[in-house]
Structure 1
Amino acid sequence: MGLFTAFRRKRLAGRGFPPPWLEIIERNVPFYRMLPPADRQELLGHVQVFLAEKHFEGCGGAEITDEVRVTVAALACILLLHRRTDYYPLLSSIVIYPDEYVGERRRWDEAGVITEGPEPRVGESWEQGTVVLSWKDVLLDAGAPDDAFNVVFHEFAHQLDQEDGITDNDGFLPGLPEGDRWRQVFEGEYERLIAEDEAGRWTLLDPYGAESPAEFFAVATETFFEMPGEMRRQHPELYGALSLYYRQDPASWGW
């Protein structure tokens, strides 16, 4: 990040926050009310930088309004609080559908055979600089901040993963604080989720996280922010690893 970019971002973040945008956040993002006052102020600054740098595009009849842009930006920027950030540098555009949409799905079985086909989706994160979201699900998930499901957290966790090198197809890389130590935590928790899913047992973490290390990190991020107290009780080492990575302790927020 160059000096000019840093100066421009600092100036953007320091501007007065538009009152209509604040009304949108207070209405659509309950997390905002839970944050400590200093974090709220930091979040509003991040939102202004994010919206100045990212392009939104509507598909399937979706209209890109300030409500769409500000809501998505606020949720995405919660993941950036307290961190030295380059504002999702691999991301250039956010594509919004009005509702669930159909995307292509690839699956590899144990023999390495690939099957492809259409699949209903509510979100995607592409390595080519795009996040795709269902607006209906963005609102539903934002309005239920304690159910461990948040499509914005999930897809933007993928963006952070791609940026920091946390996972690849084979496992976890040392892209987390304390490298090998936290890689061991993630590998152990990932294997635990796979085993519990195969045994048909209920898990706090969404079983979709057993699909791959990348999906595990995204699912764990959702649970960390949406059910932090329960994660801290049931998965204390994983909570500690994520707390160190995100530099946040959501279990201490005003739930």
Structure 2
Amino acid sequence: MITRLLEQLRRLWHERGEPPSPPDPALWNKVEADLPFLDRLTIAERRRLRELALRFLAEKEFHGANGFALSDEILLSIALQACLPILNIGLDAYHGWIGVVVYSGDFIVPRTEMDEAGIVHEYDDVVLGEAWSNGPVLLSWHTDTPTNEHINVVIHEFAHKLDMVNGEADGFPALPPDMSRGEWGLAFNQAYTTLCEQLDAGEPVALDPYAADHPAEFFAVACEAFFDAPEQLRAAFPDVYAQLRRYFRQDPAASSLADTPAGEHAATKRVKPT
């Protein structure tokens, strides 16, 4: 089902080359009120993010799985969150694929796994998000998500997409020329090892424990924290924060939310995205 907003964006994008603003300006305020981490942006940055989100909606194809109706609010929320990481990188970072599939709540992905004896096991994996290399992004949408956890499935899955630009997701995305692969690897490898050791020792950790599942998951979870809990990430893993600051060309920890009204967090809680 294509909403009126998507239909208008796509038509005017192809006719004029630039997408228009949504017909109802109040729609932006309604959606952004549920994404408090956007309050770190300046007025100019927020304007650019809106423009980027509209281009994203015009270029990508959205589908509601199993008849799930996608409202304009859902579409704009996903677009804003997906485009926040590429605000200073550009939409070309999401080239090579077009599909975004949205489920109402958790969804099941069939898996096959071979054990050490060579026996293949089949099982159903309940997930909240999944990014496919050269394929679509699968997202779940929840309207009753707890607001006290810095978990963002949209940013997580689109971080995987950035990671996949240069191959399979491994926590080592394509870096700009002014960044060192050695420094990136050292910062992330040390932080990943530290997190795993903390979990093994039963110690409290600064990131979602799912980050210890694989270096690619550590990168995606770190990206969530970078935008949603930057002070926490910087305090726990300053070298990782520094690398992400250079990669995304943003410094969210430099902007305080202490004096801004808190909105409700609209991002979904991850169960086990891959």
Residue deviations 1:175-222, cap 9 Å, x none?
463211111111111122222222222211112111111111101111
Identical aligned residues as a percent: 37
**CA distance 1:51–1:195, shift in 2 (3 Å):** same
Which deviates more, 45-54 or 123-132?
123-132
The whole-number CA distance in structure 2 between the counterparts of 1:113 and 1:181 is 40
Which one of the candidate residues 153, 160, 163 is aligned to 1:161?
A: 163
CA contact (8 A) 1:123 1:151 kept: yes
Q: 1:216 aligns with which of 210, 215, 218?
A: 218
2:96 to 90, 93, 101: 90
| Structure 1 residue identity aligned to 2:239 | E
Tell me the distance in 2 between the aligned counterparts of 1:91 and 1:202: 38
Kept in 1: contact 2:65–2:101 (CA 8 A): yes
Q: Deviations over 1:19-48 (max 9, x none)?
A: 154134233322333311111011011011
Shift of 1:165: 5.0
Q: TM-score, normalised by structure 2?
A: 0.77
Name which structure has the greater RCO, CA cutoff 8 Å, separation 6+.
2
1:95 Cα offset (Å):
0.7
**C-alpha distance in 2 between matches for 1:225 and 1:113:** 42
Q: C-alpha distance in 2, partners of 1:66/1:209?
A: 32
* SS across alignment from 1:72: helix
Looking at structure 2, the residues matched to 219 and 243 of structure 1 have their Cα atoms a distance apart, in angstroms, of: 15
Cα distance 1:28–1:108, how it changes in 2: closer, same or farther (>3 A)? farther
1:166–1:175 CA contact under 8 A, matched in 2 = no
Deviates further, 218-227 or 115-124: 115-124
Counterpart Cα distance in 1 of 2:142 and 2:184: 35
Partner of 1:140: 145
Structure 2 segments unaligned to the other structure (5+ residues):
1-12, 258-274
CA distance in 1, matches of 2:118, 2:79: 38
Q: Whole-Å Cα distance in 1 between the matches of residues 189 and 200 of structure 2?
A: 17
2:145 alignment partner AA: L
Distance 1:113 1:217, change over 3 A: farther
Which 10-residue stretch deviates more, 182-191 or 112-121?
112-121
RMSD value, Cα: 2.8
Task: Report if aligned partners of 2:133, 2:168 keep a CA contact under 8 Å in 1.
Answer: no
Distance 1:114 1:82, change over 3 A: farther
Query: Where does 1:73-88 land on structure 2 (aligned, <5 Å)?
Result: 73-88=79-94
Q: Given the superposition, is the C-alpha separation of residues 157 and 107 from structure 1 closer, same or farther in structure 2, using an over 3 Å criterion?
A: farther
196 and 112 in structure 1: CA distance in 2 versus 1, 3 angstrom threshold: farther
Q: Which has the higher helix share?
A: 1
Q: 1:235, CA displacement in angstroms?
A: 1.0
User: How many residue pairs are counted as aligned between the two chains?
Assistant: 241
Corresponding position of 2:247: 245
Q: Is contact 1:35–1:254 with CA below 8 Å preserved after alignment?
A: no
Q: Distance in 2 between matches of 1:24 and 1:107?
A: 44
The secondary structure found in structure 2 opposite 1:94 is strand
CA distance in 1, matches of 2:225, 2:118: 31
Contact 2:164 2:173 in 1 (8 A): no
Matched to 1:140, the amino acid is T
Q: 1:226, CA displacement in angstroms?
A: 1.4
**Structure 1 segments (4+ residues) deviating >6 Å:** 108-114
* Cα distance in structure 1, aligned partners of 2:198 and 2:115: 19
User: 1:112 offset after TM fit, Å?
Assistant: 8.8
Segment of structure 1 superposing worse, 18-27 or 188-197: 18-27
1:232 to 231, 234, 238: 234
For 2:180, the equivalent position in structure 1 comes to 178
Assess if the C-alpha contact under 8 Å between 2:163 and 2:169 holds in 1.
yes
1:40 equivalent to 2:46? Answer yes
Are the counterparts in 1 of residues 172 and 185 from structure 2 also a CA contact under 8 Å?
yes
Could you tell me how far apart the structure 1 residues matched to 2:209 and 2:114 are?
17
How far apart, in 2, do the equivalents of 1:173 and 1:26 lie?
28
Contact persistence 2:207–2:225 (CA under 8 A): yes
> Per the alignment, do residues 126 and 225 of structure 1 end up closer, same or farther by CA in structure 2, a change over 3 Å counting?
same
SS in 2 for 1:82: coil
Show CA shifts across 1:215-246 (max 9, x none).
11101111111111121112111110111111
